[in-house]
Amino acid sequence: MTERGDVTPLPSLKRAMVLYSRRVWERGWVANHDGNLTVRLPANKTLATPTAFCKGDVTESDLLVLDKAGKRLEGRWKPFGELNLHMVAYRARPDVGAVLHAHPPIATGFSCVGVDVETTIIAEAVVSLGARIPTVPYAMPGSEAQLEALAKVLPWFDAVLLGSHGVLTVGKDLEQAYLRMELVEHLARIQQAAISVGRPRSLPEKDVERLLQKRKEAGLGPEARGLGSPPP
Ligand SMILES: [Zn+2]
């Protein structure tokens, strides 16, 4: 959607999809055929990257339009296998217009040992992502257990670590989902640097509360959407 509330034309969405797909690959957040991007379209349709593609090579003519069951309406290639992760996100979050899944190495490394990526070590991160980034326990990608666990946390959070797997971010558009992925990886990198020289310290609790209030005032997070605070 544009700022006036108009629906963004499909060609612009396709251009954005190719741009961010390339960026995800250029940043080294995916290897081989990893990672996938989708955008919500009107009438329960979805624009999606195809399966079995290096994200650096995707062009506009490779993109797919899918129906609400994930069946291909337009495009030459097959949909990707992790599509259910995206569908769960759209169902859980009517405000979400785009979903991004990738394996950024530092944050994914954290997910492989069960260490959370902390937001409360940097003030800006609390405003952007809230008081924490939840980790959904490891389960086979796309399994019922994983989808159920994701559906539970997504109403509250815009970025989620998938145990021993990677990261999923949502946004009102692809740019926002991309920037959230960038921040998760950046935070993981800062935390890794901090751990290498000492013990990262959390910000004082009263400051975290103030930052969460700023988050709400910026129209971000579950409170701004009329939900309460996220469960601890
Ligand atoms: Zn994956």
pLDDT in tens, 143-184: 999 999 999 999 999 999 999 999 999 999 999 999 999 999
- How many angstroms is it from 228 CA to the middle of ligand 1? 30
- How many angstroms is it from 213 CA to the middle of ligand 1? 33
Q: Do 29 and 35 touch, CB atoms closer than 8 A?
A: yes
Which 3 state secondary structure label does DSSP give 163?
A: coil
Nearest 5°: the CA angle 208, 214, 219 is 130
pLDDT in tens, 66-123: 999 999 999 999 999 999 999 999 999 999 999 999 999 999 999 999 999 999 999 9
Give the residue, 228 or 28, on which the prediction is more confident. 28
- Protein residues with C-beta less than 5 angstroms from the ion ligand 1: 166
What integer pLDDT is reported at residue 4 of this predicted model?
54
Separation between Cα atoms, residue 210 and residue 206, nearest integer Å = 6
Separation between Cα atoms, residue 151 and residue 91, nearest integer Å = 8
- How many angstroms is it from 99 CA to the middle of ligand 1? 13
Q: Do 119 and 126 touch, CB atoms closer than 8 A?
A: yes
- How many angstroms is it from 81 CA to the middle of ligand 1? 9
Structure tokens given for 82: 């992790």
Q: How far is CA 136 from CA 83, 97, 114, 187, in A?
A: 17, 22, 10, 18
Number of H helices, E strands in the chain: 8, 8
- How many angstroms is it from 96 CA to the middle of ligand 1? 20
Which residue ranges form the domains of the chain, and what is each CATH number?
10-224 (3.40.225.10)
Q: Do 10 and 47 touch, CB atoms closer than 8 A?
A: yes
In the DSSP assignment, the letter for residue 224 is H
- How many angstroms is it from 70 CA to the middle of ligand 1? 17
- How many angstroms is it from 34 CA to the middle of ligand 1? 6
Across the range 22-33, mean pLDDT stands at 97
Q: Do 104 and 29 touch, CB atoms closer than 8 A?
A: yes
Q: Do 155 and 222 touch, CB atoms closer than 8 A?
A: yes
In the block, residue with structure tokens 């979050």? 93
151 backbone dihedrals φ, ψ, rounded to 5°: -60, -30
